[in-house]
Amino acid sequence: MRVKFTLALLLVAAISGCASQKGLTDTDALQKIPVLSQAKTQLQQAQESRLDWYSPSQMAQASDDYQQALKQAKAGKPEAVSTANKVLARIGAAQKQAEKAQYVFEDVLSARDKAIKVNASQVASNEFNRAESELTNVLALLEVGETDKAKRDINALRNQYLDIELNALKANMLSVAEKAIAEAKKKDIDDVAPRTIAMADDEYGLALATLEANRDDTQKANVHSQRAIWLVQRANGIVELVRSFDNAKFDEEQKILWYQDQVSKLVSPINTDVGFNQPNKEVVNGLSNAIAKIVNERQLLQSSLDTANQQLLTFQQQSESREQALTRDNQQAILSLQQDKEQALLSLQRDKEQAVLEANLALEQEQAQKRSDAARFAKVQSMFSENEATVYRQLDNVLIRAQGFAFKPGSSEIESSNFVLLNKIIDAIKRFPNARVVVSGHTDNTGSEELNLQLSIARANTVASFLVQVGLIPAELVEANGFGKDKPVASNETIPGRAENRRVEVLIVNTVAN
């Protein structure tokens, strides 16, 4: 760590130059001697690519040589050129040393990359930092020619990173499920819902066994983990319901009657006769059809109201014409006609009031549905951070524009870091029962059009498969498309714009509302 810290200070000092030097300025010196400018650029690039990690000695000397070359150039000394060339030579040697280290420690570095991808530096920071320290030491040994000593514990170091990766995977994926099961048992949930808790235990065990058998099979492990959490939540609901039945001392018939009463209360604004004399499946289908007809009935009611008003207007016009035609000799007939008119008006008024009442009821139900939809959209919108996704409402449908996916360049494989975002998308979809889901992949304009199109299709298919296999969304309701670079949402001329264009969109088509 002292070597790296010293190297950073030397680099800063070298690039910034010494303000107290007389003669040429840093800018003048770099412009006058092109090889010195080249040395500065390569030194910065080497620092960014961490060549000092693979070859600390060469990079420290390269920084010293650059500082010396800059001083010589500012003083007008011709040897500045040869000193700058030394900088380039040392950087070249450091690059060769990096290639050698990457070859010798290929398995170790591969295991290290896997640990980093599962956020091991945060989840298992102590173990990860110890492994990093050991790796830094063996890289330094390799640079000074102590190859045998550097390679002595190579397998142990590789296994150390692999163990760190496995522990991080368990912490990332299984800790929530483990805590949920433990909390349920602490509350004696397993006494009331033993089968459900036992199934949760089994799912947690399968998740653990999956990771231990194949730590790359995170998708399957996550399915078991999420299933375990869901079973614990289900057990809590069972316990709450069972205890309420016990407190009320319900027998089996009373439990069924309670369920039917809850359904009746739920649908009472639209249907007072649920029809529990039919099979339960028929009851559910009947209620679904009744709700679907509400909009059509409202339109029919409005049409009936318009017809009633027109009939009233026509009747009034006809009555006025008859009154004008009557003479005093027909007073009795006029009186009779007036009575008929009053009765007709009264009847029409009652019909009109009834039509208005029914129309208002239908309107209130429609507005209640719209409020419910708005609340559901607001909930979905609040689930995602700005870095994960942007949620839009398109009439009754919901578009989730997920720019937070972390795909490898040119790859469609789902990273484990995407599981949280994917689970949120699954939760959002399940808030719209029977909704169709359209997954579309998009890229920026980097690369060929054909490769971009194929990559966007592959990523859309990967996300769609995750929704079906992990989210348990029926496959016939999920569609995947890829559009390559054809539908950008931002400028491809900037890095942030291209990042925003590399996205996966999930359109939830609310079939009930539509």
Question: Mapped to the 3 state alphabet, what secondary structure does 383-419 carry?
Answer: CCCCCCCEEEEECCEEEEEECCCCCCCCCCCCCHHHH
* Residues in CB range of 436: below 8 A, 6 or more apart: 477, 478, 479, 508, 509, 511
DSSP state of 21: -
Q: Structure tokens of 394? A: 């398109």
CB 508 within 8 A of CB 429: yes
Q: Assess contact for 165 and 120: CB atoms under 8 A.
A: yes
End-to-end CA distance of the chain: 62
Spatial strand order in the sheet of 397-402: 390-394, 397-402, 503-509, 436-442, 478-482
pTM of the model: 0.36
Q: Does the domain formed by 383-509 have CATH 3.30.1330.60?
A: yes
Distances, alpha carbon 373 to alpha carbons 84, 102, 258, 353, 432, in Å? 68, 55, 28, 30, 9
Please give the Cα distance from 120 to 171 (Å, whole number).
9
Provide the CB-side half-sphere exposure for 400 (13 A, CA).
Answer: 32
Q: Residue 7 CB: number of other CB atoms within 10 A?
A: 21
d(CA 156, CA 160): 6
Please state, in angstroms and rounded to a whole number, the distance separating the CA atoms of residues 235 and 229: 10
Mean pLDDT by 10 residues, the chain (514 residues): 41 44 78 89 89 87 91 89 92 90 87 80 83 86 85 84 74 71 84 87 81 74 80 86 82 80 78 73 76 77 82 77 65 71 76 76 74 84 87 90 80 84 92 92 89 91 92 93 91 88 90 65
How far is CA 223 from each of CA 211, 217, 437, 466, 469, rounded to the nearest angstrom? 12, 10, 20, 10, 8
CA distance 210 to 197: 20
Q: Residue ranges per domain, the chain?
A: 2-104, 172-248, 252-292, 294-375, 383-509
pLDDT at position 319, please?
65
SS3 of 503, please? strand
The DSSP-derived string for 55-101 is: -HHHHHHHHHHHHHHHHHHHTT-TTHHHHHHHHHHHHHHHHHHHHHH
